[in-house]
Homo-oligomer: A and B are copies of this chain.
């Protein structure tokens, strides 16, 4: 069974990509809605909450766990990976997004948008630096080194959760957030938050044709394919009955309602305590 951990229902944009690519697997989605949003929390608090969520998924028998939340991936992935030492395999969404961005960037000007906490963690910058061998500019005008332009966009999560996707106020706020990135002539933009794919079209329109927009949700499932190629034993081991289960730590009603919007289909949600 594949466990998908998220701070709420945003991770359903990741789950959606997995279901498209790998419908045969069994999935258990956990949204820690009782402590949502993680964005404004401190690193310590995020580590503690992510650890508890991952512990729950491990106890339920997940053999592969995706930490779908960017904030949790940025602040807490290392701690949970160190605790479990590869049993089960625990993966985040940052490195896939970073590799994809480096592979697509033409001039090495990479923008990043995310929650305040994701941006403040500096985790994307660190991973972009670490994986910089993936960046092979073949354009003469390109930088030799990658330059990252981070931008915290704390209002986008509540705006998306309010369903204000096509709202003029949302466009105004989005335009303000993106302005410094446009001025910096970024050629690639990482959507470093699970909620942002719902605004992807609008963001692409605002950034224009010369900027590739990378969704961490989509990048995660693309990276999984190569992970499976390298680890066929994991692919073998995962149960394949096509079941899906959705659990949350707070009221399942609103979770189901909003979650359905993120996943694009109606879901039944159960409440769990741990």
Contact = CB atoms under 8 A, between A and B. Distances in A.
Contacts of A161: 40, 154
A122 interface: no
Contact of A251 (B42, B154, B251): B42
Contact of A42 (B40, B41, B169, B250): B250
Interface string A210-253: 00000000000000000000000000000000000000001100
A45 interface: yes
B154 A162 contact: yes
A159 interface: yes
One complex includes copies of this chain to the number of 2
A155 B154 CA distance: 11
Which of A36, A40, A161, A250 has the most chain B CB within a 10 Å cutoff?
Answer: A40
A45 B251 contact: yes
A168 B172 contact: yes
A35 interface: yes
A35 B48 CA distance: 13
Contacts of A33: 40
Contact of A162 (B36, B45, B155, B169): B155
Interface of A: 33-36, 40-42, 44-45, 154-155, 158-159, 161-162, 164, 168-169, 172-173, 176, 250-251, 254
10 contacts: A34-B45, A40-B254, A41-B251, A42-B251, A42-B254, A154-B162, A168-B172, A169-B172, A169-B173, A169-B176
